[in-house]
Chains A and B, each alone.
Chain A
Amino acid sequence: MAQIQIKNIRKDFGDFNAVKESSFTIEDGEFFMLLGPSGCGKTTTLRMIAGLELPTSGEIYLDGEEISQLPPSKRDIAFVFQMFALYPHMNVRRNLSYPLVSQGMARKDVKAKVEEVAGILGIQDILNRPVGGLSGGDRQRVALGRAIVRDPKAFMMDEPLGALDAEFREHMSEELRALHDRMNATTVYVTHDQLEAMQMGDKIVVMNNAVVEQFGTPQEIYDKPATMFVADFIGSPSMNFLHFDGNVGEGAESVTLGGEVMHVPRTRQGASGKLVFGVRPEHVTLSDSGAYRGEVLASEYLGTTQIITLDTPNGELKARIDSAQVAKVGEKVGLGFNPKTITLFDDGSGHALRSDLNNEVLTNG
């Protein structure tokens, strides 16, 4: 299989800039997610890797070979679309055989390959059925099979589960990931669903407004967001932003929020003016004491945990706490923040300030 290297690719459609100079590397065998809201340029990026769009500038390397201007057929990449397109008048076997036959492969090799792929996907018993009568899951498996039979160097998938309902989607995402683990094929997968990206991906690129905001492992991106956009887009509920005016020196280990001193990871960069104190809901604790206080606006029961919405001197905040803990609407409570997990942002640029927590990630990314 293959390593894919993206170097400064850019795509313009007339006056519209769909992807700004972007660079990242997809390692051999990785399940790689392109994540972002609609219109962020993730599908355009995928289509450029597959050759369905040609980049305006920049390079794409597939196993060291520059392919950015090659036609799709010369790239040896398989594409799985959101709406799985099967030939309706052919049965499953012929749908699977078609890509091989059209490549001129010998009959008995085609037969063997189709059997092998059907085995991987668990669809041996429906090979002679027409595709018309298949369930959604089986149609999806056949569509995947058609991508797999060619033994391509890499798979491109554009929201392949987007059209499915929640329960089935969960099931198919597990199946897809298990399939990847068996075949170890480099896979690039586009989604706007952050949970899907976190669940399935080895690495994630988060895009917004044609720009790569961050690139890293799911946990890295979650714990050490590079921008406010990433912090907000990843996680549910997303990271809390407490806005404050302040002056933070390089090497500072605390900031003043609502008159109270809050410890933060040691900063490696100073900033002043409008700043943001970023804390994830599960890193907020509620107590009777505590000088920094908030008023409980709402609670949402989720079984083991509950989400508490609070009004604080620096804006609204959500906390994820044990559902056994009591928090009454209208009550004022003390708030604590796990100091090791805090990310400070510059409100104007939206960029995270470098600190002992995120320095490594931000320097590499």
Chain B
Amino acid sequence: MAEVILKGLSKSFGTDVGIADVSMTIPDGAFVVLLGPTGAGKTTTLRLISGLEKADAGEVWIGGRNVGAETPAQRDVAMVFQQYSLYPHLSVRDNLAFPLKSPILNTPVDEIERIVAEVASVLQISHKLDNKATALSGGEMQRVSIGRALVREPSIYLMDEPLSSLDAKLRTDLRVELKRIQANLGATLLYVTHDQIEAMTMATHVGVLNEGRLVQYGTPREIYENPNSLYVASRLGLPRINIVPADVFGGMPAGVTQIGMRPEHIQQGEGQEAEVQRVEHLGDQARLHLVLKGHAITTIADPHTTYTPGAHIKIAPKNPLCFDAEGARISSGRTVT
């Protein structure tokens, strides 16, 4: 496995900006997740690293080599796509073995056998090895396509929303699984997704992209607890962070025009009076939908809360995040970078 460095990477498609001036270091053995909505430049970044696209400017370094002039094969990356593409006429075993049979790798037959068995057991598809690839469920097919990347030991694994076409339950299982596999192999992995839960739960580092720019890069905890902008603050957290004008509660430092309160960072029983609109009992918690001076605010309460619509409740922010008019974060009077 290898460290991957991006230096000032840019790519445009005509007048559309794919990514603009992205610089980041993916440490050896890291699980890096690029998070952003559709069109933020996630997939473009992956394709530039793999060599499927050519950069307009900037450099990609893999394991200490500038790979700008190398073909995708020479770059030694393994890619997993959102839409699993398996060879329909081959068995699961042959699909998994296929990358190892490449003339460049020249893997001995018994070695192929061993690796395929090992990967199949990790992905819990050992009992399906002799099935045709088309005789599998969606979840199994996606596991095979992840497995096809895992049989190799490339410099880096590049994964493009590999779990997004699976149902919720399977996605949850595979999330834990993928994280475990990556940690066991010590693999370097770059994973793109628009799913914040995937980003938070799997990543060692999260890069948040907005319109082609890398706006923040750090551990999930840093991104969640210390976002540098309103944009980043709204990307993580469910229910979403509440944004209200600073004067709703008052007492904010100069220059602060908006504050962000995560639903769990709202004190109940003091402060401004809000009205309960709706209560959702979700089992492990209850969500209160409130209105305060015309602003919708969501907070959480004990699952057995007795609040009902129409009730009044006093709320105050607890450690709010402060933002200026442009959405940049202000902390202790200074802009956070």
Q: Identify the A interface with B (CB < 8 A).
A: 174, 177-178, 181, 193, 195, 198-199, 217-219, 222-223, 234-237, 280-282, 297-298, 300-304, 307, 309, 320, 323, 329
Contacts and interface: CB of A to CB of B under 8 A. Distances in A.
B280 A298 contact: no
Q: 10 nearest interchain CB pairs?
A: A222-B283, A300-B201, A219-B281, A304-B264, A282-B284, A303-B224, A199-B280, A301-B220, A198-B282, A218-B281
B262 interface: yes
Given A198-B283, A219-B304, A302-B201, A181 B278 contact: yes
B237 interface: yes
A198 B200 contact: no
Contact of B201 (A195, A301, A329): A301
B176 interface: yes
A234 B284 contact: no
Interface in B195-229: 197, 200-202, 220-221, 224
Contacts of A237: 172
A229 to B, nearest CB: 13
A86 B12 CA distance: 39
A199 B282 contact: yes
A256 B287 CA distance: 36
Secondary structure type dominating chain A contacts: mixed
Contacts of A195: 282
A307 B197 CA distance: 12
Nearest to B224: A303
B179 interface: yes
Interface in B158-185: 168, 172, 175-176, 179-180, 183
Nearest to B282: A198
B283 A219 contact: yes
Interface in B275-330: 278, 280-284, 287, 289, 303-304, 309
B288 to A, nearest CB: 13
Most chain-B Cβ atoms within 10 A of its Cβ — which of A195, A282, A301, A309?
A301
B9 to A, nearest CB: 28
Contacts of A219: 281, 283, 303-304
B175 A303 contact: no
Nearest to B286: A219
B236 interface: yes
Contact of A303 (B176, B236, B283, B287): B236
A60 to B, nearest CB: 28
B262 A298 contact: no
Contacts of B197: 302
A302 B262 CA distance: 13
A223 B281 CA distance: 11
B7 to A, nearest CB: 29
